[in-house]
Structure formats: C-alpha cells, structure tokens
Amino acid sequence: MKTRTRSACKAALAVALAGGLCAGTAQAQLAGHNVILVHGFQQEDLADPPANLDAVKRAGEDYWRTFWLSRSDARVDWGSDGRVEGNIAQQAYSQLRQISQQGLCNDYCIVVSHSTGDLVTRYLLENQARWLQAEGLQPLKILAAIDYSGAGGGTELADLALSIAYNDSWYNWPLKEAVRAFTGIDPEPGKLGVVNDLQTNAARNLAVSPNNIPRLRFVAGGSSYGGITKPFIAGTDDGVVPTHSACGATSSSGIDSCTSDLSLAGKVSSQNGPSDLYYNHFPILMNEGVSHSGVLGSETGNISVPVVNNTTLNGLQVDFASRTYNKRAWWQLWGSGDQYVEVPGSDQTDMSTLVYNTLNN
C-alpha cells in the first residue's frame, strides 16, 4: 500500500479529532460566529401534532442534543405537521424576529441545518430580509449554511407517501412499509404536513432564487430503517435523502456521487455525478457509511471523503486534511490497485465533530 499525505499537520489534526486534542473547549460559536440550528423532519409531529410553539421548541431542543445544541446560540424550530409557506413560516418568523432583536447576527451567523431543515433554511434565506425590514428590524447577516443530508431537492419517499395516501391498495404493501418507516404513520390526504413540500418537484420549485450565501453540503450514504427504503430512492442515498438532493444537484435524476470522478467511498473512478449544482452549493464531504441521522454526531467508524476542499467560502476556511493512497483487493496479485482519497482519521470520530473541529480551527 502506497500513501501520500498532503499535510502532516492537518493529518495530525484529523487523527486527534476523536480525543479533542487539537480542539478548544466547547463554545457556542463556529469560526468566531454565532450558530443558528434548523432541524429536520420529525415524524412524531404527524402522529401527534404539537399543541403549541413551546412543544415545537422542546422537540427542537431534543433534536440537537447529541452534538450541536451546546455549540449553538439560537434555533429555528418548526412543526412538521405544517407547510413551509404556511405554519412553518409563521413559527420560524417569530424566532427570526427574536434573533434580530437580540442582535445575534450583527457579526454574521452560520446556519447549521439537517435534512428538511435545508429546505426550510432556503425558504428563510430568501424571505427573512423582507419580513424583518417590514417591521423595521435588521435583517440577519448570514455568512454560510452547513447542510447535513440536505433535503432541499426533495426525496422520492415523499412522492411515494402522497401516492399511497391516495391509493391504499393491498398490493402496494412494500411501498407502504417504506413510507410508514419514513413518516411514522399510515399516510392519509391532508395529514402529511411538510411531506407535501418534500416531493421532488415541490421542493425544487420552492424558494429557488440564487443568493450569495454559500451552502456547504455534507453527504451521507449509509442505511436507515433497516434498508427497506433504499429501493425506492433514486441513485445512492442515506435511507431518507437521495444524493441528488444532498449534493445540491439541479436535477432530481438519480446519481451515485457528488462528483464524476470520486465515489462516496473515496475511490478515484468514473461516477454518475451531477450534471450541474445549484448556485453557491458546495459538496464538501461525502461519507458512504454514515446514516441519515448519524451525521449529527452519533456514529463513528466511517471514512469521510473530501470533495470541495482547500478553499475559502465567504470568509469561512474549508481546509480538511486529505490523503491519497492505493489499495489492492485480496485477489489482485499485481499492480498498484485502486486509488482512494480520504480525510485521515475521520473514521475515529463522528462527522459533526470532524466538521466542527476543522472549520473552527
């Protein structure tokens, strides 16, 4: 096995991430900026709609406890029983107003979103300045958004959920099991809330105006719900969100990677990548093994692969350690084998810690 390390210092940082040797004490900032969290879809809201905003906020707090809660300064919580342009927008605005009044983003904030939070964030970024200025309030200054398993491009599971809601035939039982795993309910018309907005066409027509805020994408490829949802999602996926959405591809066609020359596992080879990406969307890391929820800090043992790296996006330095090496399969008796790229030591920590420590260093 041959190896070539791009930066010994950065490689040491990556290996030390699990033990926190290169990281400072936990603080409620990232790269010197306050952090706002926007959570994803919560299926419990469909089965048992939250009674009020206080209930929504309690659930939002629980959502982030694994890692990001202690590293944030504010959250935008929303009920999944609502629609993005309806109750979700109303709930979000009351919290944006408070963030503005407190001046939390006077020196710019970084938004961290997960899953459907990507779509909600996109809608808020398009509208928040207009909403706040209408009340004489200062618009939020947003430096960048960090999007884990972003569902801004929708998911085929939402398309299936709406289909099953209107065609509850017995022969659809494999689809029904996948949809039930995703939504937590037997879908019925009028009771799917934000799932309506997650249909691939609906999501891709919601708040699509380009803006100057970079969206840093972190992409998973592991399994969720025991793998029963994977057959119904186009291309590679994390069991909930397809890669075409998580990468920020302009098309909902199934793809296998965020780039045409590197797999989610880091193998340097020809891939079915996106034909184009949304403006200011940057796939930063891919990780074939981590699950949809595991990106938020609960899973280790998975290798992350750098895609867009060694760059600065709106003042935020993206500088992950990288290593290129060759590996031969057990049956390959000659030759150098296949070439791979990885963030060294990334399997010793979870993806959120890796991202936080690297961007905060």
pLDDT per position as a tens digit, 227-248: 999 999 999 999 999 999 999 9
Q: What confidence category does residue 171 fall into, taking pLDDT thresholds of 50, 70 and 90?
A: low
pLDDT at 281 over 90: yes
- Contact yes or no for 355/287 (Cβ under 8 A): no
| Cα–Cα distance measured from residue 298 to residue 35, given in angstroms and rounded to the nearest whole number | 20
Read off the pLDDT of each residue in 87-100 and give the average, rounded to a whole number.
Answer: 98
Looking at residue 332, what is its pLDDT?
Answer: 74
Residue 176 DSSP one-character state = H
CATH of domain 27-314+349-360: 3.40.50
* Least confident span in 81-85, 123-127, 222-226, 329-333: 329-333
pLDDT at 15 over 70: no
pLDDT at 7 over 60: no
Chain centroid to CA 127: 21
Residue 82 DSSP one-character state = S
Looking at residue 329, what is its pLDDT?
Answer: 79
User: Which amino acid is present at 168?
Assistant: D
How long, in residues, is the chain?
Answer: 361
CA distances from 55 to 58, 59, 64, 120, 243 (A): 5, 6, 15, 19, 32
Higher pLDDT, 332 or 27: 332
Mean pLDDT of the chain: 91
Residue appearing with tokens 């990677």 = 257
pLDDT at 2 over 70: no
pLDDT at 56 over 50: yes
Tokens of 56: 């929504």
Read off the pLDDT of each residue in 141-153 and give the average, rounded to a whole number.
Answer: 98
Tokens of 233: 């999602």
Residue appearing with tokens 């400072």 = 24
Alpha-carbon dihedral of residues 13, 320, 322, 262, nearest 10 degrees? 150
- Contact yes or no for 59/97 (Cβ under 8 A): no
